[in-house]
């Protein structure tokens, strides 16, 4: 797995935020919004699955996955759930405001390394945001992959993230998209049930599939089990972990999870690398 450059040569720049200008704030769902940021002149490049530390001056800093297209470096995109002091304050940012950005940090989804395979992407809730760069990459190089499947579960139909985009992906002939919600009124004509129920309905060759999963840990646990039951080898299953990342470079220890630092060794792991601590209650 590729690591960011800061792993081997930690410099002060890893700890000093750069100023990015807000160009647009888009509301996605009732508690989720997307920040569009203009990088400094040299642009910003990242790999799908990596995250940044976003600093709202005077309020605080939070780790947020990058949710934009890795193929463009002129706009940095973050989708954020407004659940705490910092993320709520960021929601109030306006066009022209500036925030501090450190990153990108962490490991990435094996999108480029999975060429020639079928791809199964399983997202739960806001877990679609860190997976979207991977989807962009795969669709930009569509001819290099076998079947591409997106299985997406949310709480209600109103919580579907990037709804228009999901509908566009669903309309493609070269991508299978299945969406399910946990609960709904009768006006919803789609599927109701947990995201794992979609696995057996999807079409892919398990032995030649690379699976990328992001969502709440409980959801990922059951998804891994069901994918494996279907025949996907464990070493071809990748998950994205989330912990309390603070420094982003493995110094402070806030995100330590057993022997691993999520900010530096993760957040994306091949499942066998994290299997033992995945179900350990003490960690």
Partner 1 sequence: MMETLAPILSEHPFLKGLDQKHLELITGCASNIRFDAGQTIFREGEEADQFYIIRQGKVSLQIYTPVHGSIIIDTLTDGDVLGWSWLIPPYQWRFDAVVTELTRAIALDGKCLRNKCEADHDLGFELLKRFSSIVDSRLESTRIRLLDIYASDEKK
- For partner 1, give the closer residue by CB, 49 or 125: 125
- For partner 1, give the closer residue by CB, 34 or 117: 34
Distance CA 213, CA 104 (A): 20
- For partner 1, give the closer residue by CB, 71 or 190: 190
Least separation in angstroms between residue 91's CB and partner 1 is 12
Going by C-alpha positions, the residue among 186, 78, 94, 91 that lies closest to residue 132 is 78
- For partner 1, give the closer residue by CB, 43 or 84: 84
Distance CA 270, CA 107 (A): 10
Of 70, 103, 153, 248, the one binding partner 1 (CB under 8 A) is 153
One character per residue 49-78, x = contact with partner 1 (rule: CB under 8 A): -----------x-x----------------
Residues 6+ apart with CB under 8 A from 173: none
Least separation in angstroms between residue 269's CB and partner 1 is 20
Of 116, 193, 231, 253, the one binding partner 1 (CB under 8 A) is 193
Least separation in angstroms between residue 129's CB and partner 1 is 13
Q: Is 110 in the site for partner 1 (CB under 8 A)?
A: no
The piece of 18-26, 37-45, 151-159, 261-269 that touches partner 1 (CB under 8 A) is 151-159
Least separation in angstroms between residue 140's CB and partner 1 is 29
Answer for the pair 238, 213: CB distance below 8 angstroms, yes or no. Answer: yes
Distance CA 114, CA 174 (A): 17
Helix (H, G, I), strand (E, B) or coil at 272: helix
Least separation in angstroms between residue 52's CB and partner 1 is 14
Q: Is 191 in the site for partner 1 (CB under 8 A)?
A: yes
Least separation in angstroms between residue 271's CB and partner 1 is 19
Answer for the pair 199, 206: CB distance below 8 angstroms, yes or no. Answer: no
Helix (H, G, I), strand (E, B) or coil at 139: helix
Q: Is 125 in the site for partner 1 (CB under 8 A)?
A: yes
| Separation of CA 68 from chain center | 10
Helix (H, G, I), strand (E, B) or coil at 92: coil
Name residues contacting partner 1, limited to 212-241 (CB under 8 A): 215-216, 218-219, 222
Distance CA 76, CA 102 (A): 12
Q: HSE, CB side, 13 Å, CA atoms: give it for residue 49.
A: 32
Of 3, 147, 155, 243, the one binding partner 1 (CB under 8 A) is 155
Answer for the pair 75, 68: CB distance below 8 angstroms, yes or no. Answer: yes
- For partner 1, give the closer residue by CB, 202 or 268: 202
Distance CA 194, CA 181 (A): 7
Going by C-alpha positions, the residue among 247, 240, 250, 248 that lies closest to residue 270 is 240
Binding site for partner 1 (CB under 8 A): 31, 60, 62, 81, 83-87, 124-126, 153-155, 159, 180, 182-186, 188-194, 196-197, 201, 215-216, 218-219, 222
């Amino acid at each position: 797995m590729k690591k960011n450059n800061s792993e081997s040569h930690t410099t002060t720049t890893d700890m000093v935020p750069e100023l990015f200008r807000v160009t647009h704030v888009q509301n996605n769902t009732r508690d989720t919004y997307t920040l569009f940021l203009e990088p400094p002149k040299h642009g910003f490049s990242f790999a799908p699955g990596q995250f940044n530390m976003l600093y709202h001056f005077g309020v605080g800093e939070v780790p947020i996955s990058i949710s934009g297209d890795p193929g463009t470096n002129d706009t940095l995109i973050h989708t954020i759930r407004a659940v705490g002091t910092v993320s709520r304050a960021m929601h109030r940012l306006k066009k022209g405001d500036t925030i501090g950005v450190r990153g990108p940090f962490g490991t990435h989804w094996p999108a480029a390394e999975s060429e020639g395979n079928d791809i199964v992407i399983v997202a739960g809730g806001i877990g679609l945001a860190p997976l979207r760069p991977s989807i962009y990459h795969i669709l930009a190089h569509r001819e290099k992959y076998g079947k591409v499947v997106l299985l997406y579960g949310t709480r209600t139909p109103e919580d579907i993230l990037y709804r228009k985009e999901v509908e566009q992906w669903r309309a493609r002939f070269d991508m299978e998209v299945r969406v399910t919600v946990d609960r709904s009124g009768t006006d919803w004509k789609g599927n109701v049930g947990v995201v794992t129920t979609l696995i057996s309905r999807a079409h892919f060759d398990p032995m030649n599939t690379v699976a990328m999963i992001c969502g709440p840990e409980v959801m990922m646990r059951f998804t891994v089990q069901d994918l494996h039951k279907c025949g996907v080898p464990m070493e071809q299953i990748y998950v994205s972990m989330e912990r309390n990342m603070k420094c982003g470079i493995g110094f402070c220890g806030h995100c330590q999870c057993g022997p691993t630092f999520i900010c530096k060794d993760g957040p994306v792991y091949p499942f066998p690398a994290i299997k033992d601590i995945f179900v350990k209650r003490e960690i």
